[in-house]
Structure 1
Amino acid sequence: MVLWRTPLRLAAVSLATVLLGAGAGAGATATAVPAGTPGPAPRAGTPAAVHGPVAGSVPGDPKAADPAGTYPWLSAPGLARAGYVEEEFYLTGDADAYGPTGERLADDVPYTTRVVVRRPGSPARFNGTVLTEWQNVSGGYDLDALWAPDQIMRAGYAWVGVSAQRVGVDQLREWSPARYGGLDVTGQGRFTADEMSYDVYAQAAAALRAGTGKVLGPLRARTLLGIGASQSAGRMTVYYDHVLPQTEPVFDGYGFVVGSAPGRRGGEPVFHVLSETDVRAPVRRADDEGYRRWEVAGAAHSGRFGQAYREPLLTRDLGAAPTFSCDRPPYSDVPLHHVIAAAYAHLERWVERGVLPPAAPPLEFAADGTKARDADGLARGGIRLPQVEAPTALNTGDNTGETFCVLFGTHLPFTGEQLNRLYPSHTRYVARVAAAGASAVREGHLLPADAAADVRDAASSDVGRDRG
């Protein structure tokens, strides 16, 4: 197997690429189909053909060994203990190509891509909902940005990562030619700016819906949610606003996370979850019957959870994880993924039973246009998790420095003097964490299991112990 061992290449990715989407500026070589030209009936719901599962599993797992020694990129460890399995499939089909404002550029362009599936091994563990993630490629490779194992496996979701974009597929081909050399989402170089990505994503979802090729094993999907983070949310915004109206819907609802969200009022519900990093102005789209927006105080676009989980996997698969020199200590400890888990649960009920999710207060802005902060520097307003309501550190969504530092937020532990002022005893600290968690649960912004974990963490900490 060939390992891609140049993590410093990541530093060359510009902030514009992060926020606007990798590959978005590349030029297509095709000419748009003239307006009014007859074309095939809308068919973005056509399932792709499925091949697999592809041999090879987490390194060291002998149960699905591949003679070539390959395994899925960023293969997840520890699934079996939770009764989960990971499988990878190749998808082939003919996709339509679209421009960034929905103009159809070509019909029926051949492609081959892959999906990675993490699902309950038994139908009894499956909650019926498939989280279908548009893999993020801002770092130059496919990233399962919304894979949060504790929350996803606890709830019994199936998670599927779709490789829809050229940057991710090209890196896969370079990383393991033996496993991924046959992948192509450009029509053999005809479309290099991800014009085919929208239909590739939709066809992957249609295959999940139809159960094509047993891509979900023995499971049958009841609810299909499309999810994407950061640049992937941007790609999904184009899909929802401009491509979906021309095609057949395949998703029941959508989760747009730490990125843009559609402006169009569509038939499928849209949940929009933003960290403090991503809220840059006090002007927002208002909630309505098809749209909910949550903003999380103190959380970062890319906080500590994702860093801690993926660093060993990137070290395994790249040879070294990337490092960054930021102007302030990264990463925010506010667990945005806990709020995302609550949003999934609400989105599921919204789709299946028409139950509108609760609203959330917005982050507050000062008169000068900056985010309003309290005496400790914490953001005011927004969803307030225990890490903000019972703080032991300054967690913000802000930072500066090289490349991705602007997305990492800040974590500055409080001094002993600050902790003593806030918490006269350990018992008072734990009680404050418990109260904050209970409040967030009542408001619908936090799940009980995650609130209980916060209390356990507080109880095992040393905060206030020297004061009784």
Structure 2
Amino acid sequence: MPRLLRLSAFLPVVVAAGLLAAPSPATAEPVPVDVPAVQGPIPGTVPGDPKAPEVGDTYPWMSTDVDLASAGYVEQEFYVSGKADAYSLTGEQIAADVPYRTRMIVRRPANPLKFNGTVLAEWQNVSAGYDIDALWNHEQLMREGYAWVGISAQRVGVNHLRTWSPARYGQLDVTGGGQFNADELSYDIYAQAAKALRATSGVRPLGLLKPRTLLGIGASQSSVRMTVYYDRILPKTEAVFDGYGHIVGTAPSRKGAEPVFHVQSETDVRTPTRRPDDDRYRRWEVAGTAHSGWNGQAYRKSILDRDLGAAPTYNCARPPFSRAPLHHVLAAAYGHLTKWVQYGVQPPSAQPLEFNADGTIARDEHGLARGGIRLSQVEVPTALNDGINSGETFCVLFGTHIPFDEAKLDALYPSHTRYVASVAAADTRNVRSGYLLSGDARQNLLDASRSDIGKD
């Protein structure tokens, strides 16, 4: 799986830079966000498509291998260009009107009638040295009718694109010709690209879709960048997004006009000190989940085998990749965030993870975290899923998955019927609480029914 940012290494830098401190007050007249030029869709979607002379025989980096057509979806890529302002980490504007050229990739319903009205604009994560669509959880997003857009805003990701396919991406640049190599342009580029999604003239990246709600979302390193944007830059500039999803990373300290939904895996909860929920901020913590878990690993392996030659492998201290499905909770969170924006309906709060007096997360007799949102994979466990690991490179982010042995399973679930009923009961509670969508509860029930748990 692509590696996401090791937050334990990055957060001291964030704190030292003062990025989580109280932001500067807003100016009286917000700086407008320009509408960039959009070109596309760029020819080529997957390997084997007909050659396109203007870009060679190419396709988008990490083009999905999911069968979009059967779900009524399409994938298209666009070039985005314009002039962006440059900002320091403290929110100071240090340059204006710097030329840039980047790309966005769009996965959306082909039929406007299948569109739920919400666009998820993801700040592509680049901690692995290349763009990662970390929050493209295709099963949930396509089932619910979202449009997903991945925006390439940072130097590392764009430079990789240029190297990976000079024919397709060789003209991209987000550094102002090498003047701004610390992603000073990234904040305005992200906002401009998102603003293009609402354009009603010229090239329309969403086709005939008419977005009602535009949400900015980002995971890990991208969430940190979005925190800088929200706290330090957004108070001075035009608001483009209706709400924000900060996933497995930092979240703003400022209370602004736009609501912020902050979802943390068990890996990311390091302290019992938290920003309290309010009418513009909500935080959920999900027991048993990892910063970078199994779902993303399984999805991206075949794509990285194709585009890199081989997906990364890891030698971790414990069996890696928690299988507690954080993405199920994210799908529920996006729905709440949309209602929060559209109707002012605040999401439910959730119990936080519990801590011991020594500052460690409290655990039950199975080693599972206490408290937090408890999915059926944790509440009715068949394995140890947690957010803890160690070892080389990014193992610390992967959590652990260790299946229970047969004797333990037999002791916990002497009856298959009782096991299935327990899964259904746990999921029913989560659906009623607003932490789980009914579509994922149905799949959990089907998986439990097909399992051998409790059978002779």
Q: TM-score category by the smaller chain?
A: over 0.9
1:51 aligns with 2:75: no
Residue type of the alignment partner of 1:376: H
Cα deviation for residue 213 of structure 1 reads: 1.4
Residue type of the alignment partner of 1:264: R
Residue type of the alignment partner of 1:118: R
How do 1:445-456 and structure 2 match up within 5 A? 445-456=435-446
1:134 aligns with 2:103: no
Encode CA deviations 1:329-365: one digit per residue, 9 max, x unaligned: 0110000000000000000000000000000000000
SS in 2 for 1:256: strand
- Percent identity over the alignment is 65
Call closer, same or farther: CA 1:17–1:63 in 2, change over 3 Å: farther
1:310 aligns with 2:281: no
- Give 1:185's aligned residue: 174
Encode CA deviations 1:193-212: one digit per residue, 9 max, x unaligned: 00000000000111112245
> Residues 20 and 231 of structure 1 are in contact (CA less than 8 Å); yes or no, is this contact kept in structure 2?
no
Cα deviation for residue 65 of structure 1 reads: 9.4
> Residues 51 and 57 of structure 2 are in contact (CA less than 8 Å); yes or no, is this contact kept in structure 1?
no
Listed as ranges, the gaps of 5+ residues in structure 1 are: 1-6, 26-34
Match of 1:162 among 142, 151, 160: 151
- Give 1:216's aligned residue: 206
- Give 1:88's aligned residue: 77
**CA-based RMSD:** 2.3
How do 1:187-266 and structure 2 match up within 5 A? 187-211=176-200, 212-266=202-256
Residue type of the alignment partner of 1:48: P
Cα deviation for residue 43 of structure 1 reads: 3.7
State the 4+ residue runs in structure 1 displaced beyond 6 angstroms: 21-25, 63-67
> Residues 44 and 199 of structure 1 are in contact (CA less than 8 Å); yes or no, is this contact kept in structure 2?
no
SS in 2 for 1:225: strand
> Residues 216 and 243 of structure 2 are in contact (CA less than 8 Å); yes or no, is this contact kept in structure 1?
yes
- Give 1:431's aligned residue: 421
Q: How many residues are treated as equivalent by the alignment?
A: 445
> Residues 30 and 235 of structure 2 are in contact (CA less than 8 Å); yes or no, is this contact kept in structure 1?
no
Cα deviation for residue 367 of structure 1 reads: 1.1
> Residues 78 and 105 of structure 2 are in contact (CA less than 8 Å); yes or no, is this contact kept in structure 1?
yes
Distance in 1 of aligned mates of 2:425 and 2:192: 45
- Give 2:109's aligned residue: 120
- Give 2:163's aligned residue: 174
Distance in 1 of aligned mates of 2:410 and 2:107: 45
- Give 1:382's aligned residue: 372
SS in 2 for 1:295: strand
> Residues 23 and 193 of structure 1 are in contact (CA less than 8 Å); yes or no, is this contact kept in structure 2?
no
Distance in 2 of aligned mates of 1:260 and 1:14: 12
Cα deviation for residue 15 of structure 1 reads: 3.7
Cα deviation for residue 221 of structure 1 reads: 1.1
Distance in 1 of aligned mates of 2:448 and 2:307: 34
Cα deviation for residue 22 of structure 1 reads: 12
Call closer, same or farther: CA 1:253–1:21 in 2, change over 3 Å: farther
Encode CA deviations 1:79-127: one digit per residue, 9 max, x unaligned: 1110000000000110000000101110100000000000000111111
Encode CA deviations 1:314-341: one digit per residue, 9 max, x unaligned: 0000001110000000110000000000
> Residues 80 and 193 of structure 2 are in contact (CA less than 8 Å); yes or no, is this contact kept in structure 1?
yes
Cα deviation for residue 58 of structure 1 reads: 1.5
Match of 1:412 among 402, 423, 429: 402
Residue type of the alignment partner of 1:407: L
Match of 2:328 among 338, 355, 358: 338
- Give 1:286's aligned residue: 276
Provide TM-score, normalisation by structure 1: 0.91
Cα deviation for residue 41 of structure 1 reads: 6.7
SS in 2 for 1:210: coil
Residue type of the alignment partner of 2:141: I
- Give 2:316's aligned residue: 326
- Give 2:134's aligned residue: 145
Residue type of the alignment partner of 1:315: D
Distance in 1 of aligned mates of 2:210 and 2:35: 15
- Give 2:56's aligned residue: 68
1:111 aligns with 2:100: yes
- Give 2:19's aligned residue: none
Distance in 2 of aligned mates of 1:238 and 1:14: 16
Call closer, same or farther: CA 1:40–1:446 in 2, change over 3 Å: closer
Distance in 2 of aligned mates of 1:283 and 1:151: 32
Encode CA deviations 1:132-153: one digit per residue, 9 max, x unaligned: 0000001000000000001000
Provide TM-score, normalisation by structure 2: 0.94
Encode CA deviations 1:162-183: one digit per residue, 9 max, x unaligned: 0000000000000000000000
Cα deviation for residue 231 of structure 1 reads: 0.3
Listed as ranges, the gaps of 5+ residues in structure 2 are: 17-23
Residue type of the alignment partner of 1:164: A
Distance in 2 of aligned mates of 1:457 and 1:276: 24
Cα deviation for residue 254 of structure 1 reads: 0.4
Call closer, same or farther: CA 1:183–1:44 in 2, change over 3 Å: farther
> Residues 315 and 391 of structure 2 are in contact (CA less than 8 Å); yes or no, is this contact kept in structure 1?
yes
SS in 1 for 2:411: helix
Distance in 2 of aligned mates of 1:287 and 1:460: 39
Match of 1:402 among 384, 392, 398: 392
> Residues 259 and 274 of structure 1 are in contact (CA less than 8 Å); yes or no, is this contact kept in structure 2?
yes
Distance in 2 of aligned mates of 1:365 and 1:16: 20
Distance in 2 of aligned mates of 1:24 and 1:88: 36
Call closer, same or farther: CA 1:16–1:441 in 2, change over 3 Å: closer
SS in 2 for 1:412: strand
> Residues 7 and 221 of structure 2 are in contact (CA less than 8 Å); yes or no, is this contact kept in structure 1?
no
